[in-house]
Homo-oligomer: A and B are copies of this chain.
C-alpha cells in the first residue's frame, strides 16, 4: 500500500478515510483532524488557558502533545485514583511525559479528597466505572474552576464518543443525549469542556504516540473488566467494518440534526441545576452525588 499523500510506502491503513499514510504524512493527517475539530467547533481561541486531563493513556498524552505542537500552552492535570499498582504506573507515565515536554503538571490525589477508588468500590453496589468517571469529572471540574482555566480538554476519542452516543441512544435518555458533543459550554458551574480528538480513533491515537515516541500507560484498569460499555464499542466497530466512515458520520450527523432537537426538548422541561450545599458543584439535588458518596464512605 502506498501513502495517499506522498506515494511512499504506507505504514498506517485508514479504511474509514479510504486512505493510508507513511509516518510523516500520518502525523500531518492527524494534525489536520485536530485543527479541523478545533476550528469547526470554535474550541479554542488565542489566549485561552487550557487544562488537559491526563490519565497517562495514549489519548490524553497524544492530545497534550498535539496541542503543544499547535502552539497552545496546555497545562496538565492528573488525578491519582489510588488504585494499587495501576495508579502508580499511570502517574509515572504522566510525570515522565510532562517533564520531557515541559508541560506544567498538577496532580490531585483522589485519596486526599476522600474519594480513593478502592474505597469507593467497596461502598458502591453498581459497576465502579461510571462512579469513577463521575469522580474524575468532578475533580477535573473543581480544579479547572478554582484555577481560572478557560477550557478543560479531554482525550475522548471517536470510539469512546460514538459508543457513548450509541449507549445513550439505546436508552433514549434525552438529558444525556443533549450533552453528547465535542464542546460543552460553561454553564451552571461547569467549566467549558472540549474534546479535540473526537474525530480520531484509539488506533489513530496509538499510532500518533508510536510515531511521536510518546511512552504511554498501556495497562488496562484492573476494575474495568467486562464493563457494559464495551458492548457498544463492539457494535460500533462492527458497523464501521461493514460501512467504513459510519462512526464519524453517526456522531457528526447527531450533532447537526438531532442534538438541537434534544436541547430544545430539555430546555422546555426547565429543570435547572443549583450549587451543591456542601461543595457548590452543580446538581439537581440539594447535595451532589459526589458529596453523598463521600458521606457514605465516611459513614462506614
List the B side residues contacting A228 at CB < 8 Å.
Answer: 242-243
Are A258's CB and B170's CB within 8 A? no
> What distance in Å separates the Cβ of A15 from its nearest Cβ neighbour in chain B?
16
> What distance in Å separates the Cβ of A149 from its nearest Cβ neighbour in chain B?
32
Are A170's CB and B235's CB within 8 A? no
Are A257's CB and B169's CB within 8 A? no
Interface string of A245-271 (1 = CB under 8 A from B): 010011001101110111011000000
A39 at the interface (CB under 8 A from B): no
> What distance in Å separates the Cβ of A226 from its nearest Cβ neighbour in chain B?
11
From B172, B231, B254, A172 is in contact (CB under 8 Å) with: B254
A122 at the interface (CB under 8 A from B): no
> What distance in Å separates the Cβ of A268 from its nearest Cβ neighbour in chain B?
9
A173 at the interface (CB under 8 A from B): yes
List the B side residues contacting A249 at CB < 8 Å.
Answer: 171
From B243, B254, B261, A231 is in contact (CB under 8 Å) with: B243
Task: Name the residue on B nearest A250 (C-beta).
Answer: B170
| Number of copies of this kind of chain in the complex | 2
State the main secondary structure of chain A at its contact with B. helix
> What distance in Å separates the Cβ of A250 from its nearest Cβ neighbour in chain B?
5
Are B242's CB and A231's CB within 8 A? yes
Are A170's CB and B231's CB within 8 A? no
**With A238-B235, A242-B231: A257-B172 Cβ-Cβ less than 8 Å:** yes
Are A171's CB and B260's CB within 8 A? no
A253 to B170, CA, bound (A): 8
From B170, B242, B257, A174 is in contact (CB under 8 Å) with: B257
Task: Name the residue on B nearest A255 (C-beta).
Answer: B172
A246 to B232, CA, bound (A): 12
A239 at the interface (CB under 8 A from B): yes
List the B side residues contacting A258 at CB < 8 Å.
Answer: 172, 174, 177, 262
> What distance in Å separates the Cβ of A247 from its nearest Cβ neighbour in chain B?
10
A228 to B254, CA, bound (A): 21
Chain B CB within 10 Å, residue with most, of A242, A249, A258: A258
Are A261's CB and B257's CB within 8 A? no
Are B246's CB and A170's CB within 8 A? yes
Task: Name the residue on B nearest A232 (C-beta).
Answer: B239
> What distance in Å separates the Cβ of A227 from its nearest Cβ neighbour in chain B?
12
List the B side residues contacting A170 at CB < 8 Å.
Answer: 239, 246, 250
Q: Which of A17-53 contact B (CB under 8 A)?
A: none
- Please list the 4 inter-chain residue pairs (A to B) with the smallest Cβ-Cβ separation, ordered nearest first: A261-B265, A172-B253, A172-B257, A261-B261
Complex A-B: 10 CB contacts under 8 Å: A170-B250, A172-B257, A172-B258, A174-B257, A231-B239, A235-B239, A238-B238, A258-B262, A261-B261, A264-B264
